[in-house]
Homo-oligomer: A and B are copies of this chain.
C-alpha cells in the first residue's frame, strides 16, 4: 500500500516535471495557450502512452482524470510564472531530468510487473522516459535534438540497469533503491550536459553523407 502510493506519487511528480518542461519550451517558441497545453500534454504523457501501447494494457490517462488534471493545472501555473522564465531555466533543466528519472523507473516497474526480460524492462523504461521529451523537441522543431536525446538515452539505460541490479542482487529497501536511482539518473544527465558544453566541437554534423 505504501509502495503503491510511492509509485503513484512518482508518476504524478514526473508528470508535473515534464508538463513544466513542455510548457516552458512551448512558451519559448511563443505558442498560444492551447498550443502550450498540447505540448505540455505530449511531453508528459507521450512516453507512458507508447509504453502502454507496447504492453497492450489500457493507456494510463484514458480512464482517469488525475493525470489530465495535473497537466492542466501545471500548465496554468507555468503560464502565470511566465514572467520569471529566465530565472527558472536551470531549475527547469533539473525538473526535466527529475521527470526523466521518475518515468524511467515507472516504465521499468511496469515491465517487471508484466514479467518481461530485464533488458526489455530497461528498454521500456528508456522509452517511458525519453519519448515525451523527444516528441516535444520534434513538434517544436528544435534543432539540437540530437544532443539532448543521447543524454536522455545514456542516463536512462545506465540508471535503469543499476536499478535492476540493486533490486535483484541486494537487500536494500525498494523505496531507497527507487529514490537513489532517480537521483543517479539526474546526476548522470547533469554531468553529461556539463561535459557536452566543454567539447561541443566534437559533435560536428555531416549532412552531406550519402547514407
Listed in ascending order, the chain A residues whose CB lies under 8 Å from chain B are 21, 24-25, 28-32, 34-35, 37-38, 41, 49, 53-56, 58-59, 61-63, 65, 68, 72, 89-90, 92-93, 96, 116-117, 119-120, 123, 126, 130, 134, 138-146, 149-150, 153-154, 157-158, 202-207, 209-211
Contact across chains for A150 and B211 when beta carbons are under 8 A apart: no
Contact across chains for A54 and B59 when beta carbons are under 8 A apart: yes
Contact across chains for A119 and B58 when beta carbons are under 8 A apart: no
Interchain CA distance A90-B211 in the complex, whole Å? 8
Contact across chains for B58 and A157 when beta carbons are under 8 A apart: no
Contact across chains for B158 and A207 when beta carbons are under 8 A apart: no
Interchain CA distance A27-B35 in the complex, whole Å? 28
Contact across chains for B32 and A150 when beta carbons are under 8 A apart: yes
Chain B's closest residue to A111 (CB) is B62
Contact across chains for B28 and A206 when beta carbons are under 8 A apart: yes
Chain B's closest residue to A117 (CB) is B65
Chain B's closest residue to A196 (CB) is B32
Given contact pairs A30-B205, A32-B154, a sample of 9 additional A-B residue pairs in the complex whose CB atoms are under 8 Å apart: A24-B211, A25-B211, A29-B205, A34-B157, A35-B149, A53-B53, A62-B120, A89-B210, A90-B210
Contact across chains for B49 and A54 when beta carbons are under 8 A apart: yes
Contact across chains for B145 and A38 when beta carbons are under 8 A apart: no
